[in-house]
Amino acid sequence: MANVYEAVIGLEVHAQLSTETKIFCSCQARVESGKTEIPANSNTCPICAGHPGILPVLNKKVVEYAIKAGLATGCEISLVNIFARKNYFYPDLPKGYQISQYENPICENGFLEIITKDGIKKKINIQRIHMEEDAGKNVHLAEFSLVNLNRAGVPLIEIVSGPDMRSAEEAGVYLRGLHAILTYLDICDGNMQEGNFRCDANISIRPRGAKEFGTRTEIKNVNSFRFVEKALDYEIKRQTDVVQSGQKVILETRTYDSGRGITLSLRTKEEAHDYRYFPEPDLIPLQISQELVEEIKNVLPELPSQKKERFAKDFGLSSYDASVLTSSKNLALFFEKAVRKLVLKGWNILDASKPMANFLTGEVARLLNDENIEINQSKLQIDHIVDVVTAVKDGLLSSTGAKQVIAMAWKNGDSVSIIIDREGLRQVSDNNILEQIVEKIIANYPVQMTQYLSCKEKILGFLVGQAMKESAGKANPVVIQDLFMKKLKGDHNASS
């Protein structure tokens, strides 16, 4: 973007709550979080299918979960809640209206603090969090479309941010932060592919420094953090091009085509809905007691920001490592368990956490990112990483070898010792074998040997590298270096 313009981004997140049952009936709520798909429309009842004459009865757990989300994001909790009907026609909406909240959302005026890559801290306002029911799913076939209502009535919270983000990066950090909070609270499974956590982004651009907003577009239902960032980057560029070419941005809803990496118009303002909200007469106003709010506040689990602080302190981690490790509840738990295992084996806690953090924030984080999954969805087990760290310490594995082992274990789940043997990655630390190599290198590079005497550091690296090459990467570089130093020192002393 030409530096003259800045982006203004607000996000609406729909998070499916991981309650046992749906929001207004007793059907299962977590139909799609399992591996096995259940038959279409088998998880329905007259209520969530919207049969004539049915009435909703509110699931208490949904209220508790929404309060948790509000408390974790610094919101005020409304003690009187009114549900509203949002009326619109769509085949996957059984009743022709969605029961939602309009004028009195359960949570208001919260915030989330984000830290960008450059270390800049920023408060993103959370305007409101409200409870509502999910719709079903339309399945489009060549000749006709079908509707699957298994998901209809699954509880959602919609979390609406202020228009406070100024870049795709900020939006990405906010989304990841929010995702972490909800999964830490254990109120959302957080699987974006399965639609547990969906994001709509409102974006506009304006001349830097301007007070008023430009015309916004809304990008609907993008299903990964990276796609949200890419869609926003694309949209910022598109809107900038539009404005710079003297045209105007149109108020419209757009969709992100991840294949082509572009956004496309879905519908314009003229086709926008008038939702005809009015208070839901089938539900009486919900009164929440202050005691319930306090009770929930007292049992809130450790949140990402708190865990991050604790990790830095207890494990001696850098702020960056701590934030990467705590960005996902599953990864944080994985780390803690792995370190505990090593400590139980007699390791010093700092000796254990350092290499563990390095592998998890390095190789493992890269693999997680590439596949866009959570650690518990991979084949990598705690024992793998514990064994790798132990093997490195014991000199059985080089750090390069360790990366290879992790990648292998990630792929097929084989045990570390099997992989080391099969791939021939066992590091050679035997002095007798390595001494031969060192002798050979010294003989082969007489010139470098002489140079070493004047500036040893540079040349030592070269020599170690040659020795590693000679050993086909299997030599323990620490031992090799030791041997070189001994040898060279000895020679030097001899010659002087």
Partner 1 sequence: MIVLKSPLLSLVNNMDLYNNIKQIHEAYNKKLLSPIELTKGYFQKIKASKHNAYLTLCEERATQQAKKADQILAQAGQIPHDRFPLLGIPIGIKDVLTIEGVRTTCASRMLEHYIPPYTATSVLRLETAGAIVLGKLNMDEFAMGSSNENSAFGPVLHPTHHDRVPGGSSGGSATAVKAGLCVAALGTDTGGSVRLPASYCGIVGMKPTYGTVSRFGLVAFASSLDQVGPLANTVEDVAKLLDVMAGHDPSDSTSLCTQKVNYTDLIQTTFDLKNLKIGVPNEYFMGGLQPGVDSSVHSALKWCETQGAKLISVNLPHTKYAVAVYYIIAVSEASSNLARYDSVRFGVRHPGKTEQDLVEFYKKARSLFGAEVKRRIILGTFSLSSGYYDAYYKRACQVRRLIQQDFDKAFNEVDVILSPVSPTTAFKIGEKTSDPLQMYLMDIFTIPVNLAGLPALSVPCGKDNEGLPVGLHMIGPAFGDGKLLAIANAFEKGFTINHG
* Residue the block writes with tokens 């997140």: 13
Q: Segment 381-440, which members bind partner 1 (CB under 8 A)?
A: none
By beta-carbon proximity to partner 1, the closer residue of 276 and 379 is: 276
In the bound complex, what is the minimum distance in angstroms from residue 270's beta carbon to partner 1?
A: 15
By beta-carbon proximity to partner 1, the closer residue of 150 and 466 is: 150
Distances (CA, A) of 366 to 14, 137, 222, 321, 375: 27, 33, 22, 13, 11
Interaction mask 90-109, partner 1, x per CB under 8 A: -x--xxxx------------
Give the span between the Cα atoms of 88 and 419, in whole angstroms: 57
DSSP 8-state assignment for residue 37: P
Which CB contacts under 8 angstroms, 24+ apart, belong to 353-357? Answer: 353/315, 353/316, 353/317, 354/316, 355/389, 355/392, 355/393, 356/385, 356/389, 357/315, 357/317, 357/321, 357/325
Q: Burial letters for 273-283: b for 16+ Cβ neighbours within 10 Å, e otherwise?
A: eeeeeeebeeb
Residue ranges in 302-455 assigned as alpha helix (H): 304-315, 319-326, 329-344, 349-359, 365-371, 382-393, 399-412, 416-423, 431-444, 446-454
Interaction mask 55-94, partner 1, x per CB under 8 A: xxxx--------------------------x-x-x-x--x
Among candidate residues 337, 304, 334, 342, the one with its CA nearest the CA of residue 322: 304
Among candidate residues 269, 263, 218, the one with its CA nearest the CA of residue 241: 263
By beta-carbon proximity to partner 1, the closer residue of 144 and 299 is: 144
By beta-carbon proximity to partner 1, the closer residue of 282 and 294 is: 282
By beta-carbon proximity to partner 1, the closer residue of 89 and 454 is: 89
By beta-carbon proximity to partner 1, the closer residue of 138 and 436 is: 138
Residues with Cβ within 8 Å of residue 77, at least 6 apart in sequence: 67, 70, 71, 106, 107, 288, 293
In the bound complex, what is the minimum distance in angstroms from residue 57's beta carbon to partner 1?
A: 5
By beta-carbon proximity to partner 1, the closer residue of 57 and 350 is: 57
In the bound complex, what is the minimum distance in angstroms from residue 282's beta carbon to partner 1?
A: 5
Q: Does 281 bind partner 1 (CB under 8 A)?
A: yes
Among candidate residues 428, 448, 446, the one with its CA nearest the CA of residue 437: 428
Q: Does 52 bind partner 1 (CB under 8 A)?
A: yes
Give the span between the Cα atoms of 107 and 68, in whole angstroms: 10
In the bound complex, what is the minimum distance in angstroms from residue 107's beta carbon to partner 1?
A: 22
Task: Select the residue interacting with partner 1 from 4, 34, 46, 486 (CB under 8 A).
Answer: 46
DSSP 8-state assignment for residue 475: B
In the bound complex, what is the minimum distance in angstroms from residue 143's beta carbon to partner 1?
A: 9
Using CB under 8 A as the binding criterion, the count of chain residues that bind partner 1 stands at: 27
In the bound complex, what is the minimum distance in angstroms from residue 405's beta carbon to partner 1?
A: 55
Only one of the segments 195-203, 232-240, 270-278, 454-462 lies at the binding site for partner 1 (rule: CB under 8 A); that segment is 270-278
- Kindly report the number of other CB atoms within 10 A of residue 192's CB atom: 20
Q: Does 251 bind partner 1 (CB under 8 A)?
A: no
Only one of the segments 65-73, 174-182, 278-286, 351-359 lies at the binding site for partner 1 (rule: CB under 8 A); that segment is 278-286
CB 291 within 8 A of CB 285: no
In the bound complex, what is the minimum distance in angstroms from residue 56's beta carbon to partner 1?
A: 7
Site residues (CB under 8 A) for partner 1?
Answer: 46, 50-58, 85, 87, 89, 91, 94-97, 144, 274, 276-278, 281-284
